[in-house]
Amino acid sequence: YTENKLESLKKICCCIREIFGFDFDCFDFHMEQDSHQNRLITDWLKSVQESVRGAGLHSYEGNQDDLKYFLKNVKITKLLEISPIVNENCHIDLPRNLEYLSIKNANFVKLGQILKMNCKNIILENTNLTNHDAFVFLKKWISMKWNLNLEYFQIG
């Protein structure tokens, strides 16, 4: 337990980087209700390295702007798992070229966003997608007009 989470995070990460001499591979971020703290952590991560291979982002109702801010400012290169609690009308720009994308509570994901993705593995849980939406992207995938890299796709 610590009073100042950001300072503790900085100290721990600085020690790890000094001892082992490498950047962070993956970053698991449980966003707080305090938006200022979330943005400070995002800005700090962006300042210490250019990108992360993977990220797990867990947000709560009311901090969807912090989730958007993180995704806009931190480059994720391989895998992303998001557990957001956001309004279904919220628009979040998702990375398009990942090996693995998993979104729990994907009620905000629209057909247009899916058709822009070029991920190898896509898992979307609790979506508002319709049977017609599923038909559209299946038809585009079969006709090779969408995501030729796709190996696994799950919606629920």
Q: Model confidence over 17-39: pLDDT tens digits?
A: 889 887 888 889 988 888 898 99
Write the CB contacts of 31 (distance below 8 Å, at least 6 apart in sequence).
38, 57, 58, 59, 60, 63, 66, 67, 70
Q: Model confidence over 71-85: pLDDT tens digits?
A: 999 999 999 999 987
Position 16, amino acid: I
Question: What is d(CA 65, CA 105) in angstroms, rounded to the nearest whole number?
Answer: 16
Neighbours of 86 (CB within 10 A): 22
Question: What is d(CA 116, CA 44) in angstroms, rounded to the nearest whole number?
Answer: 30
- Give helix 35-48 / helix 5-20 axis angle, nearest 10°: 20
What is the band of 89 on the pLDDT scale with cuts at 50, 70, 90? confident
- What share of the chain has pLDDT > 70, as a percent? 99
Closest CA relative to residue 123, chosen from 154, 145, 156, 79 = 154
- 100 strand-pairing partners: 79, 121
Query: Looking at per-residue confidence, does 91 or 80 come out higher?
Result: 80
pTM of the model: 0.87
